[in-house]
Amino acid sequence: MFYRAFLQIANFVMGSLSVLKKNQVEAFIKVLEEAYKENKRVLVMGAGRSGLVGRAFAMRLKHLGYDVYVLGDTIVSPVEKGDVVVAISGSGRTALIITAAEAAKKVNATVIAITTYIDSPLAKIADVVVEVPGRTKISEVEDYFARQVLGLHEPLAPLGTLFEDCTMVFLDAVIAELMHRLGKNEEELRKRHANIEV
């Protein structure tokens, strides 16, 4: 089961690249690129494992030199007009994340939703939506892709696992693109990496 599950997740991640929408990905990267250049704050949020994936992304933004915060950290700066909020929720229905995204909209922050559901409450609030596939979505909406290409007749990864693992790799690829656009190399990231951490 270990090997089949590993292959299934890795295959799903690989296959998800072909269903990511180019214009959504570009819009997301563009917002982040401009946020850097205009010295805007970024606040990353998500509940549960989606929140952890968001935190991993936020760490790399910090290494890139962003003024970035994470919902749930002790130290968080206020969000203001023009700041960027990245909200991650596979279902797009997590109550606390929607409440937080609404608060961000009230102060005119730019809200980006990373979700499987384009028609979810979170996506509707957002200025930019990036659809990242999760199990349900693919098996319902993109049936051929799911069954034929990914072989998801019997999903082994429970709950939001596929969404979370896809989003992890997706956001790490966004970091690579941002490094390129902002002209950062690995050495600069290393210098901004915490030297006392747990």
**Contacts with a second copy in 15-44 (CB under 8 A)?**
17, 25, 29, 43
Element of type H or E holding 163: helix 161-182
Q: Which of 19, 24, 33, 48 binds a second copy (CB under 8 A)?
A: 48
Q: What are the Cα distances from residue 111, in Å, to 2, 4, 98, 100?
A: 38, 37, 11, 10
Q: Does residue 11 interact with a second copy by CB under 8 A?
A: yes
Q: Does residue 78 interact with a second copy by CB under 8 A?
A: yes
Q: Binding segment for a second copy among 63-71, 111-119, 120-128, 142-150 (CB under 8 A)? A: 63-71
Q: Binding segment for a second copy among 31-39, 118-126, 144-152, 182-190 (CB under 8 A)? A: 182-190
The smaller minimum CB distance to a second copy, of residues 9 and 123, is found at 9
Q: Does residue 51 interact with a second copy by CB under 8 A?
A: yes
Residue 157 CA to residue 71 CA, distance in Å, equals: 27
- With residues binned 3-state (H G I as helix, E B as strand, rest as coil), the percentages for the chain, rounded to 5, are 55, 15, 30
Q: What are phi and psi of 176, to 5 degrees?
A: -60, -45
**Contacts with a second copy in 107-126 (CB under 8 A)?**
107
- Rg (alpha carbons) of the chain, rounded to whole number: 17
Q: Does residue 150 interact with a second copy by CB under 8 A?
A: no
Q: Given the residues 102, 142, 164, 188, select the one marked as catalytic.
A: 164
Q: Which of 31, 35, 49, 90 binds a second copy (CB under 8 A)?
A: 49
Residue 139 CA to residue 163 CA, distance in Å, equals: 13
Residue 2 CA to residue 166 CA, distance in Å, equals: 18
Residue 142 CA to residue 139 CA, distance in Å, equals: 6
Q: Does residue 143 interact with a second copy by CB under 8 A?
A: no
Q: Which two tokens stand for residue 177?
A: 């693109």
Chain centroid to Cα 7, Å, comes to 22
Q: Does residue 93 interact with a second copy by CB under 8 A?
A: no
What 8-state DSSP symbol labels residue 146?
I
Q: Does residue 140 interact with a second copy by CB under 8 A?
A: no
Q: Does residue 60 interact with a second copy by CB under 8 A?
A: yes
The answer to whether residue 164 is catalytic is yes
Q: Does residue 182 interact with a second copy by CB under 8 A?
A: no
Q: Catalogue the active-site residues.
A: 164
